[in-house]
Each structure stands twice: as C-alpha cells, then as structure tokens.
Amino acid sequence: MEKTFTKNVKQALNNPVLRANYRKALDALAEKRKTAFADISLELPARREAAYALRLNSLHKLPELLSQLEQKLNENGIHVHWAQTPQEANQIAESILRQNNAKKIIKGKSMITEEIRLNDYLEEHGFNVIESDLGEFIVQLAGEKPAHIVAPIIYKNKEQVAKLFAEKLNFHGSSAEELTHAARQFLRKEFYSADAGLSGVNFAVAQTGTLCLVENEGNGRFCTTIPPLHIAFMSLEKVVEKFSDVPLLYSMLCRSASGQKITVYFNMISKPRQKDEKDGPQHVHLIILDNNRSTILSDPLLRKTLLCIRCGACMNNCPVYTNIGGHAYDAAIPGPIGKILMPQIAGMEKYGHLATASSLCAACVEVCPVKIPITDILLKLRAQATSLKNLSFKQRLYSGKLAEKIAFMLWAYIFSSPLRYKLFLKMLHAFPALIPLKVRFTPMLRQWTKTRDFPMPR
C-alpha cells in the first residue's frame, strides 16, 4: 500500500494544474475559516474547549447514548440496524432496498458511505445509484472518487467541470451558475423518480432520537423527503446526548468547514411520514456502523480520533494535503484526520504508512474545532508501527523496519553517553568532508541528498 501511496504522490507532485487547483481552493477555504471566526475570535479558545469537552463526554457515554438513541428512534418509528463491518452495513442496506423493491437510489453526501464503498457494492448488485450533491455528482460523472470530505471536487477547476458536462451531459456552458443550473435540472427529475433516498448523519441526538443533517444545496432534504424510503448511515460516534449540544457543534462545523455562520439547510429527521402528513418517506432506517471504532474507544488517546465532526479544516490547512491532494491518500478520508483514522479502521498494514507522512507541523491541531491531538495520535501510531513483533523475518528486512530500529539503537548508544558523544563529535569534526559523503552513500540518508545538499560540518 505504501507503494501505491508513493506512486500517487509522485504523480500528484508532477501535475502542476492539479497542484494549482488545490492551492487556490484550499487557500480560499482556509481564509474563509479565518474570517468566519473573526467575530468571536476572543471566544474561540473557549468554544473549542467546550466543543471538545462535549464530544469527549459523548464518547465516554457512548454505549448508553446509543441504546437511548435506538430506543427513541424505535419509538418514533425509525428502524435501527447495527453493522460491525462495512460488508455488513452494505448487506443490510441491500436487504432493506430489496424488501422495498427499490432499484433507483438517490444519494446525499455522506462520508461513511465512502468508507464502506456503498456505491460500488450497490452497483455491483444491480442498483442504480445517483449522487445528488453537486460535487459528488460531478465526481460520479467523471468516474472518480471524492478528494475532500467537504469539497469533493476540490481538485477540479471550473473549466474541467465545463468540459466534463459537455462530454457527459451534452451541456455547453462555462459559468459556475450555468453549470450548477444544468446539474440541478438533471437531478430534479431523478429526485422524483427515485425509489429510495440515502443520506449520512451529522449528529444523532440520543435524548430526542433526532438525526441532524447539515447541507447547503437542499439535495439532502430532497433525498430524505421525496422518495418513499430513506436509509440513513452513521458511524457510532456521531451520537450526542442532548439537543442543546447541537448548536455549538453545528456552529463550529459550519465556521470551520466553509466559513459560514450557519448552512443553508439544517434538517432534523425524527419520524417517517405520519398519517396526516403529505410528504416524507413512509419508511426510515438508520444503519449504525462500528468498523473497529469500539476498539479505538478503549484507548484514552486514540479515542480522541472519534471526536471528529468532519469539517475538513485540518486538510484545508495541511501543507502535505495541499501539495499531494486528496486522491494520493487512496483513502475514504484523506488529510490529517485520514492519517489517524484510516490505519485504525482499515488496518495498519493497509494504511500505517500514512502516519509517517506528516512533518508534525501541527497546523491541523491548531485549527481543529474539537481539538483532536492529531500529532500526538500520529506519534502513538508511529510508535505502534515500530514494533517488529508480528512481522516475518522477510518483512522485517524488506520493510526497512529492522534497519531503522538498528539505526536508532545505534544512535541511542552514542547519544546516551556524553563520552561516546564527544568522541563521535571529535571524529566528525576531524573529517568534516566525510559527512556529506556518508549521507550521500547511506541508503536511508540518500533520500536527503536526492534533492538537497547536506551541510559541511563546521
């Protein structure tokens, strides 16, 4: 997997248009976030602290909140399903769709469905899935994957979108308004003819059994009100205790994600259509996914990964993400949060290398609205990854892990003794010219001199 990452990185770094697209869009997002907090800049530390405490409290009480949520939802007529694995979640969705005879599915934006690769699964099983969020719609048209959790098409510029629309929709236009209008026209028909609507959940309120959905385009509301069947997906940490917990988190989410004080739409879903109501789905289901999260919860530091409210601010401000872009991570969730979440939900073997791809600059930690100690978690994952325990001899050798361990043991041997250290310095300064040379020829250190000179000791 590390190989794929290296390859992706190389490709991205050699693509100036892509990098310019990212730079421009991310600068704008980072700037928006900054101005969004201008009116409360003095309160910001206190609000972040409050949001952090509130989320952590929910995590502490997770089992009871989840059972309260389930009970409330059941009372309200929403069916709750539990899935341990992505596979299970997909199968549950499939069987609900089949029971309801649903073939055509319209979908709102949801990161968890990316995590379980729901679209691929459903399409393989004969369903027709249409993304209705503008960005996701474009991604789907292009046959690609979202590159950002809030702004899926951040990697494309307007011209590229116009070209895609001309090719795929036979629509010729160039301004953002024209293109949006074209997508809207196309989607409008689909909303009315879809058999089921799918959505994610931003916050699930245990006390009232309310599923909150944050969006800007109104497509989420369409998906969750027009088709006769609504299936919502959430990972289990999305639950919060009380309704009064929501405003703070909602405000932190909007300001951090898009620089808005509030979004255009805020949906609260609590029941299927009632007898005297004219609209709304007849059936509502909620699928709650674990995917290793209950294991993550048992570690006091790693647990904090699950505080995340998916605002994307960490990626908007990340110099690695800005340079390599979202696709390079080859992960449902890219960027700093992806680096700590993916190895934990999808395995160190697959994503462990992401934890090393950070300079630990902590720009993400600085902006995260719920104060996730991303760098500390990276360090913990790195520490776990240095263990050679479960590796075969071959793996130890070829992964470079053994060599690295030996190098650091040697380093510690010298640097833990003032005497050895002094001797080492003496040698170094006696033959200063040897150092840049040594750096050049040592396999690991050669990575430095590939692109940079090494200073002459003086």
Partner 1 sequence: MNVYLYATCLSDMLNRQIQKSAKTLLEKAGLKVHVLAGATCCGQPAYNAGHRSAAKKVAMQQLSIFKEDWPIILPSASCAAMMKYHYTKLFEDEKDTFEQVLKLKRKVYEWSAFYQSLSPALIDKGAAIKVFCHPSCHGIREMQQHQVAFSLLDSLEHVQLLHLPHEHECCGFGGTFSIKHSSISTAMADRKIDELSKLITSHGLSRLVGADYSCLMHLQGRMQRLGINIEVQHLACFLEQRL
Nearest alpha-carbon partner for 329 in 106, 63, 6: 6
345 binds ligand SF4 (CB under 6 A): no
Query: Which listed residue (160, 180, 216, 323) binds partner 1 by CB under 8 A?
Result: 323
Choose the one of ligand SF4, partner 1, none that binds residue 309, judging by a C-beta under 5 to 8 angstroms depending on kind: ligand SF4
Query: Which listed residue (337, 346, 357, 381) binds ligand SF4 by CB under 6 A?
Result: 337
Q: Give least dist CB 92 to partner 1, A.
A: 38
Choose the one of partner 1, ligand SF4, none that binds residue 423, judging by a C-beta under 5 to 8 angstroms depending on kind: none
Q: Give least dist CB 367 to ligand SF4, A.
A: 6
Nearest alpha-carbon partner for 63 in 312, 237, 190: 237
The radius of gyration of the chain from alpha carbons, rounded to an integer in Å, stands at: 25
- 203 CB-contact burial (10 Å; exposed 0-12 / middle 13-18 / buried 19+): buried
CA distances from 222 to 79, 96, 101, 216, 305 (A): 20, 20, 20, 12, 31
309 binds ligand SF4 (CB under 6 A): yes
Looking at beta carbons only, is 196 or 253 nearer to ligand SF4? 253
112 binds ligand SF4 (CB under 6 A): no
Nearest alpha-carbon partner for 330 in 10, 18, 4, 11: 4
Question: Which listed range, 38-46, 114-122, 217-225, 365-373, lies at the site for ligand SF4 (CB under 6 A)?
Answer: 365-373
Report DSSP state, residue 376. Answer: H
Which 236-295 positions form the footprint of ligand SF4 (CB under 6 A)?
256
Q: Give least dist CB 115 to partner 1, A.
A: 25
Nearest alpha-carbon partner for 131 in 198, 86, 185: 198
Choose the one of ligand SF4, partner 1, none that binds residue 369, judging by a C-beta under 5 to 8 angstroms depending on kind: ligand SF4
Distance from C-alpha of 190 to C-alpha of 196, rounded to nearest angstrom: 11
SS3 label, residue 123: helix
Helix or strand holding residue 289 (H, E) = strand 283-289
Side chain identity at residue 247, one-letter code: P
Helix or strand holding residue 330 (H, E) = none
CA 380 distance to own-chain centroid? 19
Report DSSP state, residue 282. Answer: S
Query: Which listed residue (308, 328, 355, 377) binds ligand SF4 by CB under 6 A?
Result: 308
Which 407-436 positions form the footprint of partner 1 (CB under 8 A)?
408-409, 411-412, 415-418, 421, 425, 428
Choose the one of partner 1, ligand SF4, none that binds residue 142, judging by a C-beta under 5 to 8 angstroms depending on kind: none
106 binds ligand SF4 (CB under 6 A): no
Query: Which listed residue (346, 354, 370, 378) binds ligand SF4 by CB under 6 A?
Result: 370
Q: Give least dist CB 354 to partner 1, A.
A: 10
Q: Give least dist CB 319 to partner 1, A.
A: 5
Choose the one of partner 1, ligand SF4, none that binds residue 153, judging by a C-beta under 5 to 8 angstroms depending on kind: none
Give yes or no for a contact between 288 and 234, defined as CB atoms under 8 angstroms apart: yes
Distance from C-alpha of 231 to C-alpha of 81, rounded to nearest angstrom: 10
313 binds ligand SF4 (CB under 6 A): yes
Query: Token pair of 69, please?
Result: 């949520």
Q: From edge to edge, which strands make up the β-sheet containing 196-199?
A: 78-83, 283-289, 229-235, 196-199, 104-107, 128-131
45 binds partner 1 (CB under 8 A): no
291 binds partner 1 (CB under 8 A): no
311 binds ligand SF4 (CB under 6 A): yes
Looking at beta carbons only, is 10 or 188 nearer to partner 1? 10
Output phi, psi for 202, to 5 deg: -90, -45
414-423, long-range: CB < 8 A, 24+ apart: none
Query: Token pair of 367, please?
Result: 């902006």
Query: Which listed residue (235, 263, 267, 358) binds partner 1 by CB under 8 A?
Result: 358
Helix or strand holding residue 406 (H, E) = helix 401-415
Q: Give least dist CB 331 to partner 1, A.
A: 16
369 binds ligand SF4 (CB under 6 A): yes
Question: Which listed range, 76-84, 362-370, 410-418, 425-433, lies at the site for ligand SF4 (CB under 6 A)?
Answer: 362-370
Q: Is 259 left (phi over 0), alpha (psi -120 to 50) or beta?
A: left
Give yes or no for a contact between 228 and 195, defined as CB atoms under 8 angstroms apart: yes
Q: How many residues bind partner 1 (CB under 8 A)?
A: 51
Nearest alpha-carbon partner for 251 in 151, 108, 369: 369
Site string for partner 1, 361-400 (x = CB under 8 A): xxx-xx---------x--x-xxxxxx--------------
What is the contact surface with ligand SF4 in residues (CB under 6 A)? 256, 308-314, 337, 367-370, 372
What is the contact surface with partner 1 in residues (CB under 8 A)? 6, 9-10, 13, 319-320, 323-324, 356-363, 365-366, 376, 379, 381-386, 404-405, 408-409, 411-412, 415-418, 421, 425, 428, 444-445, 447-448, 450-455, 457-458
